[in-house]
């Protein structure tokens, strides 16, 4: 029994098993054909590398001694559970990288010059890159597809108490509220975020904080929405981990795809129409919604059409296949905020009835 053959056999198996798990996560959880194919190709490249060894498959098997392996009973404290798909991917990629590094060294002892120079090293670095691409696509707790998210801005509420307006909107069926108070001091913003999160959670809805990832984490919100001028999505994901959903604004399909690949859970697509509350330099128009729904990467991702939306425009968007909208003045400035929410929700009922 050759001990180096035992070591190579064990690590080849470990790397192959880890790559298969990553392949299945890409296939069944991320629904990404290209990534799944890349992990599959990596498994096959590993098998080809092992076949190029002077030691045959039969010799490696002959050196296998599972009952006598002193390491089969060793476990780490974190091996008894995995906190979702991202944790599974991280652990599998870690195993693959470590096993490939061991193989890279061990095969030098049994096949000096026998393997293509740098083959296993290149495969290891490829796995690192594929892990980076895969993990953002694995949403540990999937963001819901809201139909109506109310952008909460007190200045639009015509002097009424903000909690009354928000309560009416939530009671009428708004599934999410997003705090958008750009001029509010941090301490007050934190307290408002806490109160908004409590109000939303009491009604089974979710709370998002605009721009401020730190406030979102501190106040118990469910997510943060990042604009194109805010913290990059990838940096936000690195800081928040899986504790927050991350939304991102996008005015083109390319921007939306980039945001999803960086780790965004929900997209704000627009501007769909001119806005009276937040004037913009241009309007993307409803064609952006059509194009986004036709893009395979974006089609399954939760989205909210943004800018200038009222009940009539929500009906137009719903007819195109839009699944949700973010509204501000249409609800916050409405004489009856609850009635405004119900009218917007009716857009999807009207769309379902349309021939």
Predicted confidence (pLDDT) per residue in 129-182, tens digit: 998 888 767 755 578 999 999 999 999 999 999 999 999 999 999 999 999 999
Give 305's pLDDT tier (boundaries 50, 70, 90): very high
pLDDT exceeds cutoff 60 at 240 = yes
Give 74's pLDDT tier (boundaries 50, 70, 90): low
Burial track 235-263 (b if 16+ CB lie within 10 A, e otherwise): ebbeebebebbbbbbbbebebbbbbbbbb
Q: pLDDT value at position 348?
A: 92
Kindly write down the DSSP assignment for every residue of 80-91, as one continuous string.
T---SHHHHHHH
User: How far apart are the C-alpha atoms of 91 and 97, rounded to whole Å?
Assistant: 10
Give 64's pLDDT tier (boundaries 50, 70, 90): confident
User: How far apart are the C-alpha atoms of 99 and 8, rounded to whole Å?
Assistant: 9
Q: What is the dihedral sign for C-alpha 8, 9, 12, 15?
A: negative
Q: Is 233 exposed, middle or buried (0-12, 13-18, 19+ CB in 10 A)?
A: buried
Q: What is the mean pLDDT of residues 214-230?
A: 93
Q: What is the mean pLDDT of residues 16-30?
A: 94
Structure tokens at 94: 């870690």
What 8-state DSSP symbol labels residue 272?
A: -
Burial track 293-323 (b if 16+ CB lie within 10 A, e otherwise): beeebbeebbbbbbbbbbbebbbbbbeeebb
Question: What is the chain's mean pLDDT, rounded?
Answer: 89
Establish whether the linkage from the previous residue to 271 is cis, with ω within 30° of 0.
yes
Q: What percentage of the chain has pLDDT greater than the value 70?
A: 90
3-state SS, residue 250: strand
CB atoms near residue 215 (< 10 Å): 21
pLDDT exceeds cutoff 90 at 78 = no
Look at strands 266-269 and 223-226 and give their pairing.
unpaired
More confident residue, 169 or 48: 169
Q: pLDDT value at position 107?
A: 86
Contact 288, 253 (CB under 8 A): yes
Rg, C-alpha atoms of the chain: 26
pLDDT exceeds cutoff 50 at 288 = yes
Q: pLDDT value at position 61?
A: 78
What 8-state DSSP symbol labels residue 300?
A: T
Give 190's pLDDT tier (boundaries 50, 70, 90): very high
Task: Name the packing angle between helices 119-134 and 85-110 (round to 10°).
Answer: 180
Establish whether the linkage from the previous residue to 54 is cis, with ω within 30° of 0.
no
Q: pLDDT value at position 237?
A: 87
Per the DSSP assignment, residues forming a β-bridge with 326 are 149
Closest by Cα among 41, 30, 23, 228 to 123? 41
Question: Which residues have CB under 8 Å from 50's CB, separation 6+?
Answer: 8, 12, 57, 60
What 8-state DSSP symbol labels residue 25?
A: I
Give 77's pLDDT tier (boundaries 50, 70, 90): very low
* Cα 40 to the center of its chain, rounded Å: 22
Q: What percentage of the chain has pLDDT greater than the value 90?
A: 65
Give 341's pLDDT tier (boundaries 50, 70, 90): very high
What 8-state DSSP symbol labels residue 168?
A: H
Q: pLDDT value at position 293?
A: 96
């Amino acid at each position: 029994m050759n001990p180096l053959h035992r070591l190579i056999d064990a690590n080849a198996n470990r790397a192959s098993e880890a790559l298969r798990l990553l392949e299945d996560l890409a296939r069944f959880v991320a629904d990404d054909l290209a990534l799944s194919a890349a992990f599959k190709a990596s498994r096959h490249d590993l098998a080809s590398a092992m076949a190029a060894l002077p030691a045959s498959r039969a010799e490696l098997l002959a050196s296998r001694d599972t009952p006598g392996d002193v390491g089969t009973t060793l476990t780490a404290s974190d091996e008894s559970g995995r906190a979702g798909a991202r944790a599974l991917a991280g652990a599998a990629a870690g195993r693959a990288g470590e096993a490939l590094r061991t193989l890279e060294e061990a095969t030098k002892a049994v096949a000096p010059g026998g393997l293509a120079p740098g083959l296993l090293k290149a495969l290891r670095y490829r796995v690192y890159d594929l892990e980076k691409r895969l993990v953002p696509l694995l949403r540990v707790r999937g963001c819901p597809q809201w139909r109506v998210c109310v952008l909460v801005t007190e200045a639009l509420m015509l002097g009424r108490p903000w909690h009354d307006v928000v309560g009416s909107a939530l009671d009428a069926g708004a599934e999410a509220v997003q705090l958008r108070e750009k001029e509010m001091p941090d301490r007050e913003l934190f307290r408002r975020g806490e109160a908004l999160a409590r109000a939303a959670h009491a009604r089974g809805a979710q709370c998002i904080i605009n721009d401020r990832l730190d406030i979102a984490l501190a106040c118990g919100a469910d997510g943060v929405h990042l604009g194109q001028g805010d913290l990059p999505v990838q940096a936000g994901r690195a800081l928040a981990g899986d504790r927050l959903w991350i939304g991102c604004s996008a005015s083109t399909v390319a921007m939306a795809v980039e945001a999803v690949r960086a780790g965004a859970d929900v997209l704000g697509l627009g501007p769909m129409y001119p806005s009276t509350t937040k004037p913009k330099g241009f309007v993307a128009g409803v064609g952006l919604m059509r194009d986004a729904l036709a893009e395979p990467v974006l089609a399954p991702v939760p989205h909210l059409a943004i800018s200038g939306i009222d009940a009539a425009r929500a009906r137009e968007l719903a007819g195109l296949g839009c699944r949700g909208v973010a509204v501000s003045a249409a609800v916050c400035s409405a004489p009856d905020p609850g009635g405004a929410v119900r009218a917007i929700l009716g857009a999807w009922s009207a769309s379902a009835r349309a021939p």
